[in-house]
Structure 1
Amino acid sequence: MQALPFATMAFILYVAAAIWQGMTLFRRVPPRQGMVRLIAVLGLLLHIPVAIKLVGQSPGLLPGFSTSATLLMAVAVNVLLVASLFKPVLNAGIALFPLAGIALLAATWLPNQGGHTGLKPGILLHAVSSALAFAVLAIAAAQAVLVGLQNQALRHHHIRGIVQSLPPLTTMERVLFELVWAGIILLTLSIASGLIFLDNLFAQHLAHKTVLSLLAWIIFTTLLIGRYRFGWRGMRAVRWTLGGCGLLVLAYFGSKFVLEIILNR
């Protein structure tokens, strides 16, 4: 299988889904959520075989930076599409769909390095919970950006444009905190399974990921406590969510990017 044509077609489909949803948000076209989901699903169906091929080409069972990125984005797109059937989160695809396409295209060009490790059941639990935590919290980050834009527009009394297209701010914030709750549960499972099943979670090659993941966990936990104890909402919730997600991105990709892409090790 030639990965590049599949990746290119997936990228085009992802971008098309994001553009239509973006135009819907700005009230340029009528909403077609079913069509957007279908286009994104077609992109995902092209995405998955490329990701599987890249994993098969990894020198070890632990994929490198580019393959890890495209795998996590595939999980994020899948979670978003499923969640959008029950919650108004499809607008998050405006950011996630193109990022998934870019990650997929990049993975077909960048060197694919990896380390050797065994996927025992406990390690598999850690890997799956980590991927799901990242996916859910990535959606939360996109949701937080929309909440921030909506909050700023309402503060300046701009009630046209995207404010008219989005659900009420209270609904958007409720969905944001539901995503954070789901993400923190999965992140807790990821950290706990890592402590139990990995030989040394604070080894040199894992220490940064462990510390940053713990810091992200503290940020999200503090946000939830602040929400239900002190009524935190609005831009404060947005900033804390984006801060926690930023730490997770550094935890998952920071050292891999430096070692594999910048230093080419």
Structure 2
Amino acid sequence: MADCVVDRHQPPTRLIRGPFPGGASHVDHSVTFLAIATITGFVLATVLLLVDQWQRLERVSFRLPGLLIAVAALVGQGALLYQLGFQTAPTALNLSVLNALATVFGLASAITVISAFRERLEGIAVVLLPVTALTVFLTVFVPESNVPIRTGEIALDAHILISLSAYALLTLAALQGVMLLIQHQALHGHHPAGWVRRLPPMESVEQLMFRFIVIGFLLLTLALVTGFLFLENILAQHLVHKTVLSVIAWVVFAVLLAGRHIAGWRGRTAVQWTLAGFILMGLAYFGTKIVLEWILNLE
């Protein structure tokens, strides 16, 4: 939904980032250095959090250092995405597939790390942080076409931010759902692995999953409303699949929340609906972007 308005006044360009043939400018070197530092921070934070979960000496905790390093890496990623996202033009945001993917996982990681200072979310963090590091690597070192979107309009800027935030929160809900399925399977297997026993109680995982779903659903609702109100080409032929899939995903999450409230849905049923909605959201946004930008080569 967030890339519905494309700046047609700018000719299609090929963005080469990082140490590719043809030389690298001063900006390229600074981006490369920042990317390497950011990736290193994510990896180090992941290692510290994993060690903290596995080590048995309770007096030695690597949790706080791991979270602080993750915060520093997220700041680096934010600076990196700002530098890459706005280099097309001062009033255009480059929201290509990889930039959007890095932004979504960056937001999801930021929410997780900030929440982990008071919630037990290390199990999610050790999954998200390496994936976020991978998206940073792909964003910087893989050449990709620019997809400039006109910015400067409050309504459009709000729509983009809300859309990406909604997907980030629903990504976290899906990860919580997968964690819940793993715990459920381990419980019925009667021999849970050691790392499973270190996860938060299933009830806490489920409550946090629905908390993410509720907030993500509200943001998705706002994204759809702002899209229909302020985007002129939301039902254009090349975007109708994105719009339809987003609406279907909204219906899935609405049914899930209604089922939770009315019938008390939980456990496997709730997780299955959560994953279904998440997959639809992924197809709506990244599926259509990949087809349009990588297969059909439409800017």
Q: CA deviation at 1:90?
A: 3.3
Q: 1:235 offset after TM fit, Å?
A: 1.8
* Contact 2:124–2:176 under 8 Å retained in 1: yes
Instruction: Give, in whole Å, the separation in 2 of the partners of 1:85 and 1:122.
Output: 33
Q: Which residue is equivalent to 2:81? A: 51
1:80 corresponding residue in structure 2: 112
More off after superposition, 38-47 vs 70-79: 70-79
CA drift of 1:54 comes to 0.9
Q: Is the 8 A contact 2:51 2:62 kept in 1?
A: no
Match of 2:64 in 1: 34
Indicate the residue corresponding to 1:61 in structure 2.
Answer: 93
Contact map agreement 1:20 1:29 (CA 8 A) in 2: no
1:110-133 alpha-carbon deviations (Å, 9 max, x no partner): 314214434411111111111111
Bigger radius of gyration: 2
C-alpha separation in 2, matches of 1:160 and 1:69: 32
1:146 CA displacement: 1.0
Which structure shows the bigger proportion of residues in helix conformation?
1
2:86 and 2:148 mapped to 1: Cα distance? 13
Letter paired with 2:258: I
How far did 1:25 drift?
Answer: 4.5
Gaps of 5+ in 2: 1-26
Of 179, 182, 185, the match for 1:152 = 185
1:1-265 matches, within 5 Å, as: 1=27, 2-25=30-53, 32-58=62-88, 60-108=92-140, 109-265=142-298
Please say if residues 194 and 201 of structure 1, whose CA atoms lie closer than 8 Å, have aligned partners that are also in contact.
Answer: yes
> How far 1:262 moved relative to its partner?
4.1
1:222-244 deviation per Cα after TM superposition (whole angstroms, max 9, x unaligned): 11112122222112222221221
Q: TM-score scaled by structure 1?
A: 0.90
Aligned residue pairs total 265
Alignment RMSD: 2.2
What is the percent sequence identity of the aligned residues?
32
**Where does structure 1 lack aligned partners over 5 or more consecutive residues?**
none
Cα distance, 1:263 vs. partner? 4.9
**Is the 2:84–2:94 Cα contact (8 Å) retained in structure 1?**
no
One-letter identity of the residue aligned with 1:51 = L
Aligned CA distance change for structure 1 residues 201 and 57 (closer, same or farther; 3 Å): same
